[in-house]
Amino acid sequence: MILKPPAWIGLAIIVLVAICAAAASVLAPVDPTRSSVFFLQGPSQQHLLGTDELGRDILSRIIYGARTSLLIGAGAALVAVLIGAPIGLAAGYFRGKIDIVILPIIDLFIALPGLVLALIITVMVGPSLLNLVLILGFVMWPTIARLVRGQTLATREHAFIEAARAAGGGSFWIIRRHVWPNIMRVVAAQFAVTVSFAIITSASLSFLGLGIPPPTPDWGSMVRSGFDFIAVNPSMSLAPSAAIALTVLGFYLLGTSVE
Amino acid sequence: MITAIIRRVLLAIPTILALTALLFFSVTLVLGSPATMMLGEDASPRAIAEINARYGFDRPAYVQYIDWMSRALQGDFGRSFTSQEPVARSIAAALPVTIELALWSIGLAALAATVLNTLPAGGRLLRTTVVALNLVGITIPNFILGIGFIFVLSVSLGWLPSTGWVPWSDGALAHVRHMIMPVLTLSAYYFGAFSLVYRAELKDAYSKLYIRTARAKGLSEGKVAFKHALPNAVLPVITFAGLSMGHLMGGAIVTETVFSMPGIGRLFVGAIAGRDFPVMLAVGMLIVVGVVVMNFIADLLYTVVNPQISLE
């Protein structure tokens, strides 16, 4: 797998965010949930990015928020691959009746607006970290399934698949040993893109008021509450906005710039 | 052709029925009884029973669905729990706002994507700028883009009104001034996505012989680009634009919330926040039906502009 220059930029951003998430307790200047009487202050020496409406340090909340974003993004993409890859492999490898049933379902789910779907399901089951991971994974699987199906369709025509079949290999064995290793890289690249879209969708849900419940630091919710005070303290919404945009950009660049 | 269209329509009906039934049952089953939703968790059993009897919530779910569907087909979506207004009236008021926003955004995105990527004389700087803007459009969530626009164009510069919406009848200029930022916000993603599709098509078109012929007969690069390359590469963008209308609803919800526009998206978010069951259901179904219909139209358009592809 060859990484083009933009992919390295993406990787650097992801590493930076991952360090923030892993070492949040060391890096954050203060406890992200501790409120104080110094609310809605602009950037200063004590609070590099200022404070929010409850006097909490915005920088610390952004550093801790990296955990939530990465967990939801990577978790949702993993769920999407776990659902989408087997379905795509089955449809692409066996074709015929299985494909006829699966393909319209995939197309239908791709056509439905993911955010609306996620919104409805979140209202029904309630927002929690685990629920959001499962919901976003469920919303994103069709894209993975369609990609895997297409790749499988192309791969199964190769001579080495025929050879494996001639050697007496069963379908499951051929898929596991010959098809999957050949399409794994494409899926890995799509995984990164899926992480970026999962982060966008979860941030949008938070902005609409259906994110991780407080006081857990969450970038989308921070943007939402900061939006009300945009004329008073712009950094309250602009700083977490930048964090979201940068993280999404990192995963997107990594996923789209590999050969 | 006609039989193919009729067959597609007949196929679309069960799809819509299945999706709406799924929506209806999951909303009614998981959210609990609408009566508790209306009266709150600690309502007395008697009051709940009364509401159930009055609205027919005590009947089996499939009976309620059939009843709801047959009323919906006659344009009756019930009344909102919170405002008591007929849902159909709220939707009729909100729909034009969303449709206008959607059409402007998709139109602007398609126009910008095709024209900016076709301009040959712009050279390297223009190309890099367009690619960078595409990246911004795709990776920045549109609520962030919207807030960014509000911060720069309203709060800092004071050029445009930050939020709200003014109908055409109250002045065209005010209407347009309120529409600029929402349209820019919503179109950004599609500008990026359409550009990706269009650039791939354009690259393909430029490898064809008719381009070489056009150049050989001495046409300027501009003529070659706009008269020969563009018409041959624009088709997938049109189809993609049609297919995007469903996806666009997600963006419209966020954009309308950021800019406080009285459209379908905001109606939906409000219904969700207030657990307003009839509004939620009606808007959800409207979106589902809209997606299926738009996909059908996009397919149809594709066969009309490209006769090589049939609906069979």
Q: In this predicted model, what pLDDT tens digit does every residue of B253-297 receive, in sequence order? A: 999 999 988 989 888 888 887 777 788 888 888 888 888 887 777
Q: Do A245 and B141 touch (CB under 8 A)?
A: yes
Interval B194-226: pLDDT, tens: 998 888 888 888 888 888 888 888 888 888 888
- Amino acid in position B196: L
Q: How confident is the model at residue B307 (pLDDT cuts 50, 70, 90)?
A: low
Q: How confident is the model at residue B38 (pLDDT cuts 50, 70, 90)?
A: low
> For A74-95, what is the mean pLDDT?
91
A256 to chain B: closest CA residue: B135
Q: How confident is the model at residue A70 (pLDDT cuts 50, 70, 90)?
A: very high
pLDDT at B39: 66
Higher pLDDT, B63 or B114: B114
If we measure between CA atoms, which residue out of B235, B153, B139 comes closest to residue B191?
A: B139
Is-contact A50 A233, C-beta < 8 A?
yes
With 90 as the cut, is the pLDDT of residue B231 above it? no
CA distance A163 to chain B (A): 35
**Cβ-based neighbours of A57, under 8 Å, separated by 6 or more:** A28, A29, A30, A32, A34, A47, A49, A51
With 60 as the cut, is the pLDDT of residue B312 above it? no
CA distance A183 to chain B (A): 22
Q: With both helix axes pointing from N to C terminus, report the angle between B277-305 and B87-118 in degrees, rounded to the nearest 10.
A: 40
Select from A113, A204, A234 the Cβ nearest to the Cβ of B151.
A234
Higher pLDDT, B55 or A106: A106
Q: Do B148 and A204 touch (CB under 8 A)?
A: no
A235 to chain B: closest CA residue: B151
Distance CA A251, CA B280 (A): 34
Cβ atoms within 10 Å of B248's Cβ, excluding its own: 28
Distance CA A202, CA B76 (A): 34
Backbone φ and ψ of A3, nearest 5°: -95, 125
pLDDT at B41: 64
* Residue A154, both tokens: 């192309």
pLDDT at B189: 92
Tell me, what's the ipTM? 0.83
> For A45-70, what is the mean pLDDT?
80
Residues of chain B contacting A208 with CB distance shorter than 8 Å: 253-254, 257, 269
With 60 as the cut, is the pLDDT of residue B144 above it? yes
B298 to chain A: closest CA residue: A111
Q: Do A204 and B140 touch (CB under 8 A)?
A: no
- Amino acid in position B47: A
With 80 as the cut, is the pLDDT of residue B29 above it? no
Task: Measure the CA dihedral A205/A233/A54/A248, to 10°.
Answer: 30
Q: Do A113 and B143 touch (CB under 8 A)?
A: no
Helix (H, G, I), strand (E, B) or coil at B99: helix
- Amino acid in position B210: Y
pLDDT at B121: 58
With 90 as the cut, is the pLDDT of residue A244 above it? yes
**Cβ-based neighbours of B150, under 8 Å, separated by 6 or more:** A230, B162, B163, B181, B258, B259
Distance CA B199, CA B310 (A): 25
Helix (H, G, I), strand (E, B) or coil at A29: coil
With 60 as the cut, is the pLDDT of residue B310 above it? no
Residues of chain B contacting A230 with CB distance shorter than 8 Å: 147, 150-151, 155
With 90 as the cut, is the pLDDT of residue B308 above it? no
Distance CA B176, CA B48 (A): 48
pLDDT at A137: 93
Q: Which residue has the tokens 């526009």?
A: B261
pLDDT at A19: 87
Residues of chain A contacting B15 with CB distance shorter than 8 Å: 108
Higher pLDDT, B310 or A130: A130
pLDDT above 90 as % of chain A: 22
Is-contact B182 B199, C-beta < 8 A?
no
Is the N-terminal amide bond of A215 cis, ω within 30° of 0? yes
Q: How confident is the model at residue B2 (pLDDT cuts 50, 70, 90)?
A: confident
Helix (H, G, I), strand (E, B) or coil at A118: helix
Helix (H, G, I), strand (E, B) or coil at A48: coil
* Residue A7, both tokens: 């992919």
Q: Which residues of B touch A (CB under 8 A)?
A: 15, 19, 23, 26-27, 30-31, 135, 138-144, 147-148, 150-151, 155, 243, 246-251, 253-254, 257-258, 268-269, 272-273, 280, 284, 287-288, 291-292, 295
